[in-house]
Amino acid sequence: MKAILLAAGRGTRISRMIEDVPKSTLPIAGVPLIRRTAQMLLDYGFELVVCVGYQANKIYKALEGLPVQYYTNPFYDVTNSIASLWFARNELQGDAVVLNADVYFSKDILNLVLNDKREVSMAIDKTRTEIGDYFFSTTDNGCIEKYGKELPLTSRSCEYVGLAKIESSFMPIFTERLEELVESHKHSLWWENVLYSFADTKEQNIYTVDVKGEFWAEIDYFDDYERILKHIEKEEKVRILKRIKREEEVRV
């Protein structure tokens, strides 16, 4: 299975706070976020593909020493992630996970996605419908019906996490649709719009898998980054307390 990390974009909403640093390279417990994600994927046995563009050299540095296949989107400043994925289209063979490099997520979330047996599944969070970045309206069996940043509150079922799995049986028609959209100059779309196009026409069910309350965050604003740091700090305190408790039990 391949993992395709999309890390070409600039991230204009947070750029004024972090200057020329790609948001996917922001440190998490001293490790660049993208390196943390890459190492997790490699530990699972994935072949790792990374799409770069903005400040590519800083992405290379963050992933230095790791076995990564790179693809460059030279038009990152005038295109969106659909173009970045198009440049890596030759890697779209067999099973794959495609994910945005600015998302912090846990192994538990990755397991939930990988264990889903359907041809296509997109990670979602049912606990987040009021505040977030991108929302879905889903059917009773979890298929995407509507989607968007401005989806009315009454229509929202969940927030999209930024991670999806595509199995080999669906990959040929996915790749064909990707080519069609790019050839028709839809360069401003996100890569996920390839999947949404099947939901629009009802050609294919695009399923969702809930992360069941697990912590995750996509870094769109600096507040998102701070939320990750607070979560890490909390987790570390819990680990310390558990270790102290074990040591006390041993002494007793």
All domains in the chain, ordered by first residue: 2-221 (3.90.550.10)
Structure tokens at 198: 């099947």
Assessment of whether the complete model's pTM goes beyond 0.75: yes
206 and 198 in contact (C-beta within 8 Å)? yes
Q: Provide the pLDDT for residue 246.
A: 75
pLDDT along the chain (252 residues), means of 10: 94 60 92 97 97 96 98 96 97 96 96 96 96 94 95 96 97 97 96 97 95 93 90 85 72 66
Beta-carbon contacts of residue 202 (< 8 Å; ≥ 6 apart): none
How many angstroms separate the most distant Cα atoms in the chain? 71
d(CA 168, CA 69): 20
Structure tokens at 7: 């890390």
Q: Provide the pLDDT for residue 21.
A: 84
115 burial type by CB count under 10 A (0-12 exposed, 13-18 middle, 19+ buried): exposed
Q: Provide the pLDDT for residue 103.
A: 96
If one counts every other C-beta atom within 10 angstroms of the C-beta of residue 29, the result is 12
Q: Provide the pLDDT for residue 13.
A: 58
